[in-house]
């Protein structure tokens, strides 16, 4: 079994093209290794990868086959599977794929969309909390196109006049659907959903695939009507029709 420092350490000279090497610190207060970018500052500072058929990248190569970790030009550290980022810690927070697990303040990202307009959720907003204004007028809240499975967000709509004026909408793909839990064991599918009454509503939107969204109401919100209309969805969300 090799020694922890490697079988073939290489001390004091230029780094070897093959084998292992060890650098021994001479000044305990000095930085051992410094990687300085060029003025272009776009390539990775460091990358680790498994053996691949094309063993050498060559000068200026952007090949990413076999990557298992990377340190970006901005100092972010990511765990990779080739070009797919599995986990990343950067200046914005900790992400699992594109879903924010914890922001720089220790909390999840909270976004208040501009009311009275179309707000497009992007693939970088996974895990965010969206607080919809109390008087949103004809606002469409569009979901991202081709999200990765597992992408999710939460949307909160306070007690307001947003009924018939606010919708969560699939966009850019005519085959994309939202599965909404109904009052029976069946699901209803829709291109968009909206609050069913003037009471407060909240929903967690989860991408089960690139075209299928699952709407999971948060809390057992009741309809304002004295009797629940069977065609409407449970917990205050229904198929969108008027926004």
Distances (CA, A) of 110 to 105, 113, 128, 157, 199: 11, 10, 6, 13, 21
Report the predicted TM-score, pTM, of the whole model to 2 decimal places: 0.61
Measured between alpha carbons, how far apart are the two ends of the chain, in Å? 68
pLDDT higher than threshold 70 for residue 159: no
Decide if 140 contacts 243 (C-beta within 8 A): yes
34-52 confidence digits (pLDDT tens): 888 888 777 888 888 887 6
pLDDT value, residue 16? 72
Residue of 44, 109, 56 whose CA lies nearest to 80: 44
Q: pLDDT above 70 covers what percent of the chain?
A: 69
Structure tokens at 76: 């972010």
Decide if 178 contacts 222 (C-beta within 8 A): no
213: left (phi over 0), alpha (psi -120 to 50) or beta: beta
166-169 and 139-142 beta bridge pairing: parallel
**3-state secondary structure (DSSP) of residue 124:** helix
* Domains within the chain, CATH numbers bracketed: 46-103 (no CATH), 110-239 (2.60.120.640)
Higher-pLDDT residue of 164, 108 = 108
pLDDT higher than threshold 50 for residue 149: yes
Mean pLDDT computed over 179-192 = 69
Distance CA 15, CA 20 (A): 9
Decide if 204 contacts 168 (C-beta within 8 A): no
Distance CA 77, CA 87 (A): 8
Decide if 221 contacts 201 (C-beta within 8 A): yes
Residue of 56, 118, 122, 124 whose CA lies nearest to 85: 124
Residue of 148, 145, 168, 143 whose CA lies nearest to 98: 148
DSSP element (H, E) containing 48: strand 46-49
């Amino acid at each position: 079994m090799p020694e922890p420092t490697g079988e073939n350490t290489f001390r004091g000279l230029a780094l070897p093209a093959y084998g292992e090497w060890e650098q021994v610190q001479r000044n305990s207060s000095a930085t051992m290794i410094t990687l300085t970018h060029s003025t272009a500052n776009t390539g990775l500072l460091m990358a680790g990868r498994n053996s691949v058929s094309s063993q050498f990248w060559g000068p200026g190569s952007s090949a990413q086959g076999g990557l298992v970790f990377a340190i970006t030009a901005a100092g972010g550290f990511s765990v990779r599977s080739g070009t797919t980022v599995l986990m990343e810690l950067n200046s914005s927070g900790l992400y699992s794929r594109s879903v924010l697990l914890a922001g720089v303040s220790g909390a999840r990202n909270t976004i208040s969309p501009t009311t009275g307009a179309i707000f497009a959720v992007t693939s970088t907003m996974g895990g965010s909390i969206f607080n919809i204004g109390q008087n949103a007028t004809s606002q469409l809240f569009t979901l991202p196109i081709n999200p990765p499975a597992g992408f999710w967000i939460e949307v909160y709509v306070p007690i307001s006049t947003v009924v018939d004026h606010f919708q969560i909408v699939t966009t850019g793909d005519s085959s994309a659907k939202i599965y909404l839990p109904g009052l029976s064991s069946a699901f209803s599918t829709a291109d968009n959903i909206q609050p069913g009454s003037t009471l407060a509503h909240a929903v967690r939107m989860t991408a089960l695939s690139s075209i299928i969204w699952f709407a999971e109401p948060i809390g057992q919100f009741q309809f304002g009507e004295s009797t629940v209309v069977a065609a409407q969805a449970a917990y205050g969300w229904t198929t969108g029709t008027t926004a």
